[in-house]
Amino acid sequence: MKWISCLSAVATLLVSSSSIAAQDVEKRVSALIERMSLAEKIGQMTQAERSHASPKDVKDYFIGSILNGGGSVPGENERSDWVGMISDYQDAARSTRLGIPILYGTDAVHGHSNVKNATIFPHNVGLGATRNPELAYSIGLATAKEVAATGIHWTFAPTLCVARDDRWGRAYECFGEEPSLVAEFAEPFVKGLQGDTLNGNTIGENRVIATAKHWVADGGTTYGTGDEGYAIDRGDTQLTDEELQRLHISPYLPALSSDVGSVMVSYSSVNGKKMHEHKGLVSDLLKDELGFVGFTISDWSALGEIPAETNRERVVRSINAGLDMIMEPEKWQEFITDLTAAVKAGEVPMERIDEAVRRILLVKASSGLLENPVSPLALSAQGDSVLGNDEHRALARQAVRESMVLLKNEKSLLPIEKKSKIFVAGVHANDIGFQSGGWTLEWQGKSGIDTQGTTILEGIQAAVSTVTYSEDGKGVEGHDVAIVVVGEDPYAEGWGDYRPAPCEKCKPMSLSAEQRQLLDRVTDSGVPTVVVIVSGRPLMVSDQISDWQSVVAAWLPGTEGAGVADVLFGEYAPTGKLPVTWPRNLAQIPINFGDEDYDPLFPYGFGLSY
Ligand code: GLC
């Protein structure tokens, strides 16, 4: 690809600056590899899910990594349950001949989001609205501490997708639609999680290994090309090399130069070729040209989506393309069997196996895992005061404040006088699950999750003395101001893809009939109305917005809903700017900053203040 040469300058910078490949670490790893059997090597390349692999399996098959899927939690989901589980896995791993500890990975994508009472930060689209990358560093650091307190070493974050089509159910996992905005958040987030580099003691310092994902162009797929029955998720990104580099590869460069320990490969395809078998983009570009020295990991059972006759063929094509560790949550034994047979049959060269194992062990060694199989914080009583502590919740509340985007404010209705008689309506005003979105305690997220936090309503009630709450909006008459909180129900991945007709695994990108009725009921009363939209992306509101005096986009704020009240009552004047274009209607999508005939309802970068 012709533009590879213009990236090679970056490559020399990346490799020379990386401490993953530091000389002493290299020597240590080479000595280890010399001693390893094929079974031990392939074990290191295997990642299984916690409910499908026991500590005994780790011992018997030399498994190198365990993960938990969204919502898969040990015991009562208490910190002690996590620490106990990971300690059991590590005891098993260290009882093997070479005693190489496992790497445990989890999706701490907006805080330690599977763990009860952890701090849940705004999803990335809200962080993009803050235009404050330093916040990302602080959030990465706070998240690392909460993850380390549970004994976990590795998070599958940050997501560096560029949201080019908001009909994609994962658009909210992106910092925005502009590659330059996503790139601004890459380095601080990675360094907040890992520290400045993988310095040999990352885990000893209660930091965690980060993952840049999903390589590459997961946010650029064409609507209608979705895989596995989805409308757009896991689809095909059809771009020229130049567009691919400019839009989707460029945000990874700051992450790579920050020593990100792993890169997760995307389910999606580029110009018709599945990324999980794309040697050109995984080995030739990411590893050879850009100098990435960490390890690549597949996505969840993603090899199964490679079009081939047998699993062994899928394994051969993926490993030979440059995948180093395979996330095969349930069928990990089949993976081990197929890869072993393929190596013995010469279908996968031993050099490729050794390269994959070298990369994995380099990260294990340079992160300090070999000396700290369980983070110190996990083993100390100090760890009890980390999950969801006041400091982290205050940080999350600040992030919520800064993520609010004021879209409309007729007659300066906002900020609301605190002595006013306030009326609050809508289910989204009083549900931490709705305000946190997907990837929160459950993979898909859900209403009424059991975790500590403050709903938007509770934030309002704490700020002013006269508040009436009516879920359906009845009884609004006689109040000074109405605050109606509406939005999307939680979703994750392709289950959030847009489709016009209702279905189990899709979303309408518009307000429900009940919400529209609620809004009409309140605005018809003549009470000045503020509408707060809780969503992972722009919703189609053009036909009703003229009835709303003020409008605030709140995105998916997480557990600290009080940050919304801070803006509504003027504790904090809104500074948020749209990270994505807000379309007039669905027919405009995909619509992005820089398009010709660009005429959205609200443009990228729009945001009012007081
Ligand atoms: C999911 C997602 C990926 C996540 C992984 C583990 O399918 O695509 O972002 O890290 O599986 O949960």
Confidence of residue 3 (pLDDT cuts 50, 70, 90): very low
Indicate the residue type of 101.
Answer: P
Q: What is the pLDDT of residues 393-443, one digit of tens each?
A: 999 999 999 999 999 999 999 999 999 999 999 999 999 999 999 999 999
Put residue 117 in one of left, alpha, beta given phi > 0 → left and psi -120 to 50 → alpha.
left
> Would strands 269-270 and 273-274 be described as parallel, antiparallel, or unpaired?
antiparallel
Q: Ligand 1 center to residue 74 CA distance, Å?
A: 19
For 5-385, give the CATH class: alpha beta
Question: Is residue 15 pLDDT above 60, yes or no?
Answer: no
Q: How far apart are CA 605 and CA 204, in angstroms?
A: 40
State residue 502's pLDDT score.
87
Q: Which residues line the pocket of ligand 1, CB cutoff 6 A?
A: 69-70, 107, 156, 213, 299-300
Question: Is residue 199 pLDDT above 70, yes or no?
Answer: yes
Of 548, 536, 541, 550, whose CA–CA distance to 579 is shortest? 536
Q: What is the DSSP string of 151-175?
A: T--EE---B----S-TTSTTGGGSS
Can you list the alpha helix ranges (DSSP code H) found in 216-293?
A: 241-244, 252-256, 279
Q: Ligand 1 center to residue 161 CA distance, Å?
A: 13
Q: Which two tokens stand for residue 513?
A: 């009939």
Q: What is the mean pLDDT of residues 37-53?
A: 98
Start-to-end C-alpha separation, the chain: 49
Q: How far apart are CA 544 and CA 525, in angstroms?
A: 15
Element (H, E) at 65: strand 65-67
Question: Is residue 5 pLDDT above 70, yes or no?
Answer: no
Q: Ligand 1 center to residue 183 CA distance, Å?
A: 21
Domain 404-588 has CATH 3.30.1330.10: no
Q: Taking a C-beta distance cutoff of 8 angstroms, is the pair 136, 167 a contact? A: no
Q: Ligand 1 center to residue 300 CA distance, Å?
A: 6
Q: Ligand 1 center to residue 268 CA distance, Å?
A: 13
Buried b (16+ CB within 10 A) or exposed e, 212-250: bbbbbbbbbbbeebbbeebbbbbbbbbbeeeebbebbbb
State residue 4's pLDDT score.
47
Residues 6+ apart with CB under 8 A from 569: 415, 416, 418, 460, 463, 464
State residue 23's pLDDT score.
80
Atom from ligand 1 closest to the CA of residue 214: 9
Indicate the residue type of 233.
Answer: D
Q: Which two tokens stand for residue 318?
A: 């993926």
User: Bridge partners of 237?
Assistant: 270
| Strand order from edge to edge, sheet including 236-237 | 236-237, 269-270, 273-274
Can you list the alpha helix ranges (DSSP code H) found in 293-387?
A: 311-321, 332-344, 350-366, 376-379
Confidence of residue 20 (pLDDT cuts 50, 70, 90): confident
Confidence of residue 2 (pLDDT cuts 50, 70, 90): very low
| Residue located nearest, by CA, to atom 8 of ligand 1 | 299
- In the chain, what are the domain boundaries? 5-385, 404-588
Peptide linkage before 216 cis (omega within 30 of 0): yes
Of 233, 103, 112, whose CA–CA distance to 174 is shortest? 233
Q: Taking a C-beta distance cutoff of 8 angstroms, is the pair 65, 105 a contact? A: yes
**Catalytic residue selected from 107, 233, 277, 299:** 299
State residue 1's pLDDT score.
43
Phi, psi (deg, nearest 5) at residue 136: -65, -35
Atom from ligand 1 closest to the CA of residue 173: 9
Strand ranges (DSSP E) for 217-318?
A: 236-237, 262-265, 269-270, 273-274, 295-297
Q: Taking a C-beta distance cutoff of 8 angstroms, is the pair 492, 443 a contact? A: yes
Confidence of residue 446 (pLDDT cuts 50, 70, 90): very high
Of 54, 120, 36, whose CA–CA distance to 93 is shortest? 54
Vertex 350 angle, CA 294 and 216, to 5°? 35
Q: Taking a C-beta distance cutoff of 8 angstroms, is the pair 405, 577 a contact? A: yes
**Known catalytic residue: 493?**
yes
Q: Ligand 1 center to residue 170 CA distance, Å?
A: 11
Atom from ligand 1 closest to the CA of residue 493: 8
Q: How far apart are CA 442 and CA 241, in angstroms?
A: 37
Q: Which two tokens stand for residue 520?
A: 């009409």
Phi, psi (deg, nearest 5) at residue 570: 85, 10
Phi, psi (deg, nearest 5) at residue 46: -105, 130
Atom from ligand 1 closest to the CA of residue 69: 12
| Residue located nearest, by CA, to atom 3 of ligand 1 | 299
Q: What is the pLDDT of residues 452-473, one digit of tens each?
A: 999 999 999 999 999 999 999 9
Q: Taking a C-beta distance cutoff of 8 angstroms, is the pair 21, 259 a contact? A: no
Q: How many CA atoms lie less than 13 Å away from 566 in the CB half-sphere? A: 23
Q: Ligand 1 center to residue 213 CA distance, Å?
A: 9
Atom from ligand 1 closest to the CA of residue 211: 10
Question: Is residue 10 pLDDT above 70, yes or no?
Answer: no
Atom from ligand 1 closest to the CA of residue 267: 8
Q: How far apart are CA 224 and CA 539, in angstroms?
A: 20
Atom from ligand 1 closest to the CA of residue 213: 9
Q: Ligand 1 center to residue 93 CA distance, Å?
A: 24
Q: What is the pLDDT of residues 276-327, one digit of tens each?
A: 999 999 999 999 999 999 999 999 999 999 999 999 999 999 999 999 999 9
Residues 6+ apart with CB under 8 A from 170: 159, 161, 218, 219, 233, 492, 493, 496
Candidate of 299, 330, 493 to mutate for ligand 1, largest count of ligand atoms within 8 Å of Cβ: 299
Q: Taking a C-beta distance cutoff of 8 angstroms, is the pair 561, 400 a contact? A: yes
**Catalytic residue selected from 493, 497, 560, 566:** 493
Buried b (16+ CB within 10 A) or exposed e, 596-607: eeeebbbebebb
Candidate of 276, 300, 439 to mutate for ligand 1, largest count of ligand atoms within 8 Å of Cβ: 300
Phi, psi (deg, nearest 5) at residue 282: -90, -55
% of the chain exceeding 70 in pLDDT:
97
Q: Taking a C-beta distance cutoff of 8 angstroms, is the pair 484, 425 a contact? A: yes
Q: Which two tokens stand for residue 478?
A: 């006689």
Q: Taking a C-beta distance cutoff of 8 angstroms, is the pair 434, 428 a contact? A: yes
| Residue located nearest, by CA, to atom 1 of ligand 1 | 300
Q: Taking a C-beta distance cutoff of 8 angstroms, is the pair 382, 145 a contact? A: no
| Residue located nearest, by CA, to atom 10 of ligand 1 | 156
Can you list the alpha helix ranges (DSSP code H) found in 525-601?
A: 562-568
Put residue 528 in one of left, alpha, beta given phi > 0 → left and psi -120 to 50 → alpha.
beta
Q: Ligand 1 center to residue 227 CA distance, Å?
A: 15
Candidate of 156, 173, 233, 328 to mutate for ligand 1, largest count of ligand atoms within 8 Å of Cβ: 156
Q: What is the mean pLDDT of residues 491-500?
A: 97
Buried b (16+ CB within 10 A) or exposed e, 342-356: bbeeebbeeebbebb
SS (H, E, C) 385-423: HCCCCHHHHHHHHHHHHHHCEEEEEHHHCCCCCCCCCEE
DSSP state of 581: -
**Known catalytic residue: 284?**
no
Q: What is the pLDDT of residues 210-225, one digit of tens each?
A: 999 999 999 999 999 9
Q: How far apart are CA 331 and CA 352, in angstroms?
A: 22
